């Protein structure tokens, strides 16, 4: 019987290990930055940060599509404007990718000039390749944007060899870092192929088939997230923005497409039910993580700072706690099965359950009682109409004697993991809320701009159809907004901190990654669907059979 329990425990931990939101933690620097952010950022600024994030993406899409194009039936020579547009699009796709390399691999020392030169040369080569192949195959060139991709990749590889070859040759760690992030960037490239094929299959199924087929989306997302998590290694501060604003936005875009093309409203009900279930799992995980932190926090008198204040103070006082936090790693997959039955993570091998190390609450005062703080269970719920007054910083006192050395290290590690998972969960809920509205807005923009006739998804649309389709997508967005508010309410009651500010912090700290990833995940699917770019997933390419090559 004991062997069966151990086998079940190993299997359970194996499954849980694929939950990427549990495989990471805040760094010491990020904990301190969050603590300062919570004390200095107004609710209005946090709200504006969350609401206005998608605006640049919408503006660029509208500007790009405001230039009228000639019909693809007129051939390549009559579509000089289209080739100019694709040139701009390739720059807008390649440029953000270079920006991400500069952020994620800073030791490469790629300057803005280097990135700009690589982007322009790669775009020139890609467009030249597309025009050349189009002259041979025909226009529109089938999967034009994908045809240009090898040219872009070739230029990037050669440029890196010329500019950074010597450094990469002598620095194995830098080579590995660059290779890992290149593998991370390959994930969205694969999704560019997978999701449109998925959508094509979805459209050609009946109502029952669509409901069943929908189950593949969480599987695609799970595989993609573990792919990115594996290659990001211990860059925990960058995992959430890269993963969420690539995969989750991409996934939500195609979910919105599925709703727009669904044959039954049951799709919306099924999607909402699935998201509620996934949110429940996340909240359950957070409750378990929170229980460990609260168990230790009981040693600190009620009202003497949030758990973030305490963690920040420990890191300030204890260099060893900071070092141990920086060395923390997580296992997943087969490696979890190799661990002893009573250990689920390599980083937990030496820490044991919280109940073994927590003693009775002490009466020693660690922080003076600030007027704006209270016990997490008593913290009032912040709404969007909350007072704009900024919280006053807490004054810190020495923590030695309240926690043992082991308890200090445990508190920091558990608090760091709790913050990582909380930020991850709230950002996922945020993207699920904004993307349906972003998708509906993009559809409306394209409908009223001059190139509407060249988007297959808008064929047979009139004002009534647009209103109905956009309304269906908006229903999902409203449901996601309610889900976001409910989870915000629960988390804020439990954590005793502003979840809105935590959301804005995650957005602000990774703003370069967030904006570039969000833009690419929204911009590429729209541009790829333009008839001139020849994305025909039926592989029939009828236009090539019905006319001679221009």
CA dist 243 and 151 (Å) reads 26
Classify residue 425: in a domain, yes or no.
no
Classify residue 292: in a domain, yes or no.
no
> Structurally, how many domains does the chain consist of?
1
Stretch 376-394: mean pLDDT: 38
Q: What pLDDT is recorded for position 419?
A: 96
Residue 189 has pLDDT above 90, yes or no: no
Classify residue 302: in a domain, yes or no.
no
φ and ψ of 400, to 5 deg: -65, 135
Give percent of the chain with pLDDT exceeding 90: 59
Q: What pLDDT is recorded for position 14?
A: 79
Classify residue 105: in a domain, yes or no.
yes
Classify residue 378: in a domain, yes or no.
no
Stretch 257-284: mean pLDDT: 88
**Which carries the bigger pLDDT value, residue 394 or residue 241?**
241
Classify residue 2: in a domain, yes or no.
no
Residue 392 has pLDDT above 50, yes or no: no
**8 A C-beta contact, residue 223 and residue 403:** no
Classify residue 466: in a domain, yes or no.
no
Classify residue 490: in a domain, yes or no.
no
Domain that holds residue 161: 71-170
pLDDT classification of 214: cutoffs 50, 70, 90: confident
Stretch 485-490: mean pLDDT: 95
User: Tens digits of per-residue pLDDT, 428-484?
Assistant: 999 999 999 999 999 999 999 999 999 998 988 999 999 999 999 999 999 999 999
Q: What is the mean pLDDT of the chain?
A: 85
Of 171-180, 361-370, 414-423, 464-473, the one with minimum mean pLDDT is 361-370
Annotate 141-202 with three-state secondary structure: CCCHHHHHHHHHHHHHHHHHHHHHHHHHHHCHHHHHHHHHHHHHHHHHHHHHHHHHHHHHHH
Query: What tokens were used for 298?
Result: 């009981």
């Amino acid at each position: 019987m004991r062997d069966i329990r151990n086998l079940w425990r190993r299997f359970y931990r194996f499954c849980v290990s694929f939950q990427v939101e549990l495989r990471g933690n805040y760094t010491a620097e990020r904990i301190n930055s969050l603590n300062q952010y919570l004390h200095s950022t107004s609710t209005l600024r946090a709200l504006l940060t969350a609401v206005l994030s998608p605006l640049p993406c919408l503006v660029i899409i509208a500007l790009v599509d405001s230039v009228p194009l000639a019909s693809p039936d007129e051939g390549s020579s009559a579509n000089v404007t289209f080739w100019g547009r694709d040139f701009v699009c390739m720059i807008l796709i390649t440029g953000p990718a270079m920006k991400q390399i500069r952020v994620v691999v800073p030791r490469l020392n790629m300057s803005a000039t280097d990135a700009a030169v690589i982007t322009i040369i790669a775009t020139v080569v890609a467009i030249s390749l597309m025009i050349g192949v189009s002259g041979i195959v025909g226009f529109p060139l089938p999967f034009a944007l994908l045809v240009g991709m090898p040219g872009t990749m070739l230029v990037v590889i050669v440029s890196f060899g010329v500019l950074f070859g010597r450094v990469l040759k002598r620095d194995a760690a830098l080579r590995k870092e660059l290779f890992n992030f290149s593998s991370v960037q390959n994930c969205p490239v694969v999704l560019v192929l997978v999701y449109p094929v998925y959508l094509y299959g979805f459209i050609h199924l009946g109502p029952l088939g669509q409901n069943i087929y929908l189950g593949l989306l969480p599987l695609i997302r799970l595989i993609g997230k573990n792919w990115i998590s594996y290659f990001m290694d211990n860059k925990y501060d960058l995992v959430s923005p890269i993963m969420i604003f690539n995969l989750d936005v991409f996934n939500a875009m195609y979910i919105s497409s599925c709703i727009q093309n669904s044959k039954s409203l049951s799709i919306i009900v099924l999607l909402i039910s699935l998201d509620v279930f996934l949110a429940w799992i996340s909240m359950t995980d957070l409750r378990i993580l929170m229980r460990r932190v609260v168990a230790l926090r009981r040693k600190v008198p009620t009202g003497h700072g949030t758990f973030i204040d305490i963690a920040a103070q420990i890191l300030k006082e204890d260099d060893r706690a900071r070092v141990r936090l920086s060395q923390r790693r997580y296992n997943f997959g087969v490696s979890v099965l190799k661990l002893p039955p009573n250990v689920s993570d390599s980083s937990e091998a030496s820490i044991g359950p919280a109940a073994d190390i927590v003693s009775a609450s002490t009466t020693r005062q660690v922080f003076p009682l600030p007027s704006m703080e209270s016990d997490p269970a008593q913290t009032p719920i912040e709404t969007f109409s909350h007072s704009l007054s900024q919280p006053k910083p807490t004054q810190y006192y020495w923590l030695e004697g309240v926690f043992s050395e082991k308890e200090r290290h445990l508190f920091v590690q558990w608090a760091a993991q709790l913050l990582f998972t909380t930020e991850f969960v709230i950002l996922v809920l945020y993207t699920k809320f904004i993307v349906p509205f972003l998708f509906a807005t993009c559809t409306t923009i394209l409908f009223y701009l001059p190139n509407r006739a060249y988007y297959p998804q808008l064929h047979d649309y009139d004002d009534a159809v647009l209103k109905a389709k956009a309304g269906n997508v908006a229903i999902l967005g409203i449901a996601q907004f309610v889900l976001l508010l409910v989870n915000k309410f629960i988390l804020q009651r439990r954590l005793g901190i502003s979840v809105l500010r935590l959301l804005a912090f995650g957005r602000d700290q990774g703003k370069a990654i967030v904006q570039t990833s969000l833009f690419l995940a929204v911009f590429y699917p729209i541009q790829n669907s333009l008839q001139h770019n020849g994305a025909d997933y039926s592989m029939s390419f009828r236009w090539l059979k019905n006319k001679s090559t221009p």
